[in-house]
Amino acid sequence: MTTQKSTILFASDPSIMYSPPNAWDIGQNGSTTTSQPGATAQLNFSGSFIEVYGIFPKNVASAPVSHYTLDNETPLIFTTPIGNESDSHSPFVFYEANPANGNHSLLITLESGEQLDLSFIVFADPEEFPAVPSSSTLIGGIVFAAVTVMVGAILVFYHIYRRKKGKVSGPGYSPNPEPFLFAARLRRPTTGSSVAVRHSRVLSIDPSSHSAIFESAVQPASITESSYIDEKASLKNPDQRTSSENIVLPRSPSVHSSLQLHPPSTLHSSTSDAPPSYKTVYRVSQW
């Protein structure tokens, strides 16, 4: 597609050739004036139209008559009216539209009269731009963009639905609780007989807490004294054993630092002739 860019030249622009040069006066506002018959102004330009603006003369005895010749064709004769104080200073004087694109030449000649005033000239420069896409291409692009947006929205809603479905919630229960440690007692007699070891577990919803796994035995001294006394009391009264069967420890750095961790070898029992007695040890694990 071809479009055009307008160019404005003040009459005093050097690209306009005046002849004879001493017959033209240059005004402070960039205009040019001549009263000499036969004086010319010539402009070479490239474009599809040209406009000439001038100033109507005031207080003159005769109106100026000028010729406008485009590319050596038949000149257009224009008689500039005599202006008055209420007239605008740069009215439209000459206009030529739709010449073939290419190089052109405009020659302005004062034939008779007084004070031909030229203000500025406007012409169009042709400029090439890429062609506008066809309507079918535009429709195809719009349909593709709409389908892409719809598919993206469906995927986002599906992802949100899956995340909500995997959460556990209820009255008084936080959907994302902090993991906590569950300590279960291990019992074995000191006579050396073998007993099964019951592992404790961590109840956790947060997947990030599953990355660290550890198991260590903990001596009873690392638990509060009241828990240890309750255990000894439970040997005498088995009915009290259920009240202190399991101990829940909150998951916090302060509790972890107070636990004394020992290698699994501390669980090995010793052989003795004394009646079987029970020790209470604790195993803390996380998954």
- Give pLDDT tens digits for 44-101: 988 878 888 888 787 788 888 999 998 888 888 888 877 766 555 556 677 776 667 7
Q: Which CATH superfamily is domain 2-128 in?
A: Galactose-binding domain-like (2.60.120.260)
For residue 173, the 8-state DSSP code is: B
Q: Which residue has the higher pLDDT, 176 or 108?
A: 108
Query: What is the predicted pLDDT for the residue at 267?
Result: 41
CB-side neighbour CA atoms (13 Å) of 6: 7
Which helix (H) or strand (E) covers residue 219, if one does? none
Query: What is the predicted pLDDT for the residue at 39?
Result: 95
Query: What is the predicted pLDDT for the residue at 123?
Result: 86
Q: Ramachandran region of residue 268, left (φ > 0), alpha (ψ -120 to 50) or beta? A: beta
Beta-carbon neighbour count of residue 70 at 10 Å? 16
The pLDDT of residue 257 is above 50: no
For residue 59, the 8-state DSSP code is: S
Structure tokens at 65: 């008559």
- pLDDT average, residue stretch 228-237: 46
Query: What is the predicted pLDDT for the residue at 40?
Result: 96
Query: What is the predicted pLDDT for the residue at 10?
Result: 92
The pLDDT of residue 278 is above 50: no
**Distance (Å, rounded) from C-alpha 102 to C-alpha 121?**
18
Q: Please give the C-alpha separations between residue 57 and each of 32, 63, 64, 187, 280, in angstroms, as whole numbers.
A: 12, 8, 8, 121, 119
For residue 82, the 8-state DSSP code is: P
Query: What is the predicted pLDDT for the residue at 17?
Result: 96
Judge if pTM exceeds 0.75.
Answer: no
Domain locations in the chain as residue ranges: 2-128, 180-285
Peptide bond into 20 cis (omega under 30): yes
Please write the tens of the pLDDT for every residue from 13-25: 999 999 999 999 9
- pLDDT average, residue stretch 97-114: 84
Q: Where are the beta strands (DSSP E) in 113-269?
A: 116-128, 180-189, 202-203, 215-218, 246-249, 261-262
Q: Would you report the helix, strand and coil content of the chain in percent, each value rounded to 5?
A: 25, 35, 40
Please write the tens of the pLDDT for every residue from 161-182: 666 555 544 455 444 444 433 3
- Phi–psi pair at 157, nearest 5 degrees: -65, -40
- pLDDT average, residue stretch 194-216: 41
- pLDDT average, residue stretch 237-262: 45
Structure tokens at 149: 């947006």
Please write the tens of the pLDDT for every residue from 129-149: 444 445 555 566 677 777 776
To the nearest whole number, what is the mean pLDDT of the chain? 64
For residue 160, the 8-state DSSP code is: H
